[in-house]
Structure 1
């Protein structure tokens, strides 16, 4: 059993609560400290939880609840600018389908589980510093309050304060030159009665994704090229109706994007600002501080793995702390279990971003070559198997060398 008894978790989004729940299962008492003054109910767009993310949630007892509220996606369709299907492929054989859900839904589930477990959550505590001693660490917050523990877990997102405390020279998120959007439309494209298919359309000028929802209508997402960094707050300064008009111009002539966006409702548009990717983080931990989730590995939304990787890392960190009494050993084992996997996925997401931002000629070549590749050598197993089949063996002991791996 680890010598760690109390953990300070900084960040109350997704990775922080999952880390707290996993730490509790590992026998460590966590407290969660959120910078914002209120809960994040109703904030955020849709995202995918892949089979590997669902497997990690099973360890903290939340996979069934997520499957109940999430929309299953069992097939993916690659479409051309006219809405014609170029290729379709199912998920990895033998695995449950991925689930689409809104961030606010997963957030609510996690908050309810924290309450059930009696894990304290405080709001309005923005971390400004940390003081370490041989016996523990004290987190200092902007409101003058403090928290004491044996270690501090940084789950405070891509602009992590904990990351800069660990390494003042640590890189920050890098703008990929795209602004991300999503929303609802009253339009249901013809011939699309199935709700388990996600469509990826490589349009004439831009990428467009969509799926039908059981309640009626369609959900959609797209990107606008924008080289300058735009924060979510800056993006929201532009009226949603204006952004929607720009998207309509970008997808003029694309089917079904043109019709979907024509009947899209401005009040449902979600604007996340510039999409970003986090470069390789040299230091994942120092002394009594360690990073988890987007604070240390943030693939762009193009990966479809952001939330799943955050959940995986939170559970693996708790497992390492459970089995290795010395923090340096636990942190080193955690990094050894995670770094190679997340960096490969981030690299693939960056390649996808480049394809989305490509010019007309490159987009045309992609449309021509993709169907052939998908019908021949790019099977679901080859494309997603190594990522989606990852499953953490919670009961297996962790060694200092990080020899225990997922199966």
Structure 2
């Protein structure tokens, strides 16, 4: 089968590698000019690491990451509880994505700087139209091109109808140093705000990611800096070294994003299938994006092996198997953030409904047991444990 994978991120690279191993003629394209580098934090849990091991890329992840420290959750200077992160690893997102895409490119032809502009269904398959004016026919197109997926917009979605936003905005600031010079991480609550304070693995630097309940509209990051600094100030003396750096962060060194999820009822249209954030973005705050994208790719590859002549059937079964995890993770992530930043009883009750829905949605989904590489698939992952979703 001739397959085009749009998006050379973690999900796209992973599923392309698996499908090429199964004997398909696979290509990857990405609109960016070169593999990613740098970036903010990303978390890999033991399930995502297991899939990386299956495709022989576990060493890449471990080389570019370190174990994630225990996370302390506090309101003001009062510690509420601790979250053990056994088996999780933290890395700089761009560096890891770039390394994984280059690993996949050893087996799968990969073109950077090529943009998909149109999709046309045919009796035999699907035609892809590119920005350079060329057209090529494929049996299957996989959209693994993220939250703002071109494939989803062209083939599955109508007027961004699958986008869920809740008025929360995130301010990303990198500051020098670490919490009291340790690898400790923290989640801070107070004043209708929430902040994740996570150290980087490759240098003496910390990410301060603050979430605000601002409603609709656009906001400049600079006007949010004083509120983020105030949350650090109320959290106690060990966060004091970060305050001045947050208050005085230059506009070109910060980033603002909106909380956003893709809650799509369908993940395919005939011979077009969505994988990862293109199908079911959970939001970077969740720490579950790599998990969902890699496991989803593995499940789809397994289902396509079962019925290679029936792409739609394979896509339907893939969605059915993965959706319970996605639904629970989306509701949990949104519910926790919305509860922490709620203004008034109505918003609190809405957040509580999301949290209840998450608890009711939890189901197990099997990770396919298959090796796509010569590496020993029985090699253990440090701290490996089961998760509540998979």
Q: Tell me if both proteins adopt one fold, taking TM over 0.5 as the criterion.
A: yes
Within the candidate set 31, 34, 41, 1:35 is matched to: 31
- SS for the counterpart of 2:167 is strand
Paired residue for 1:198?
Answer: 185
Contact 1:49–1:304 (8 Å) recurs in 2: yes
Contact 2:163–2:261 (8 Å) recurs in 1: yes
In the TM superposition, residue 388 of structure 1 has moved relative to its aligned partner by 10
Within the candidate set 74, 93, 115, 1:103 is matched to: 93
Contact 2:233–2:243 (8 Å) recurs in 1: no
- In the alignment, the residues of structure 1 paired with residue 108 and residue 117 of structure 2 have an alpha-carbon distance, to the nearest angstrom, of 23
Within the candidate set 262, 270, 289, 2:244 is matched to: 262
- SS for the counterpart of 1:228 is coil
- In the alignment, the residues of structure 2 paired with residue 229 and residue 63 of structure 1 have an alpha-carbon distance, to the nearest angstrom, of 41
- SS for the counterpart of 1:159 is coil
String of CA shifts for 1:256-304, please: whole Å, max 9, x gaps.
Answer: 445423234736844142121222x122112211111111111123322
Paired residue for 2:215?
Answer: 227
String of CA shifts for 1:11-64, please: whole Å, max 9, x gaps.
Answer: 23332222211211222121112234x125336421211111111222211122
Where do 5+ consecutive residues of structure 2 fail to align?
349-358, 372-388
Taking only aligned residues, the RMSD between alpha carbons, in angstroms, comes to: 3.2
Contact 2:5–2:141 (8 Å) recurs in 1: yes
Within the candidate set 49, 70, 76, 2:71 is matched to: 76
Are 1:87 and 2:81 counterparts?
yes
- SS for the counterpart of 2:141 is strand
- In the alignment, the residues of structure 2 paired with residue 340 and residue 389 of structure 1 have an alpha-carbon distance, to the nearest angstrom, of 8
Are 1:328 and 2:328 counterparts?
no
String of CA shifts for 1:362-396, please: whole Å, max 9, x gaps.
Answer: 999xxxxxxxxxxxxxxxxxx9xx7999643227x
- In the alignment, the residues of structure 2 paired with residue 227 and residue 248 of structure 1 have an alpha-carbon distance, to the nearest angstrom, of 21
Paired residue for 2:355?
Answer: none
- In the alignment, the residues of structure 2 paired with residue 286 and residue 361 of structure 1 have an alpha-carbon distance, to the nearest angstrom, of 40
- In the alignment, the residues of structure 1 paired with residue 289 and residue 138 of structure 2 have an alpha-carbon distance, to the nearest angstrom, of 28
Are 1:337 and 2:321 counterparts?
yes
- In the alignment, the residues of structure 2 paired with residue 244 and residue 283 of structure 1 have an alpha-carbon distance, to the nearest angstrom, of 39
Where do 5+ consecutive residues of structure 1 fail to align?
365-382, 396-405
- In the alignment, the residues of structure 1 paired with residue 143 and residue 105 of structure 2 have an alpha-carbon distance, to the nearest angstrom, of 21
Within the candidate set 112, 129, 133, 2:102 is matched to: 112
Contact 1:166–1:289 (8 Å) recurs in 2: yes
Paired residue for 1:45?
Answer: 40
In the TM superposition, residue 10 of structure 1 has moved relative to its aligned partner by 1.5
In the TM superposition, residue 213 of structure 1 has moved relative to its aligned partner by 4.5
String of CA shifts for 1:128-164, please: whole Å, max 9, x gaps.
Answer: 222322x222111233122222111111222223224
- SS for the counterpart of 2:119 is strand
TM-score where L is the length of structure 2: 0.80
TM-score where L is the length of structure 1: 0.77
- In the alignment, the residues of structure 1 paired with residue 344 and residue 177 of structure 2 have an alpha-carbon distance, to the nearest angstrom, of 27
Against the structure 1 CA distance between its residues 289 and 217, is the aligned structure 2 distance closer, same or farther, given a 3 Å change threshold? closer
Contact 1:15–1:292 (8 Å) recurs in 2: yes
* Structure showing greater relative contact order (alpha-carbon pairs closer than 8 Å, 6 or more residues apart): 1
Contact 1:140–1:147 (8 Å) recurs in 2: yes
Q: Decide which moves more: 318-327 or 265-274.
A: 265-274
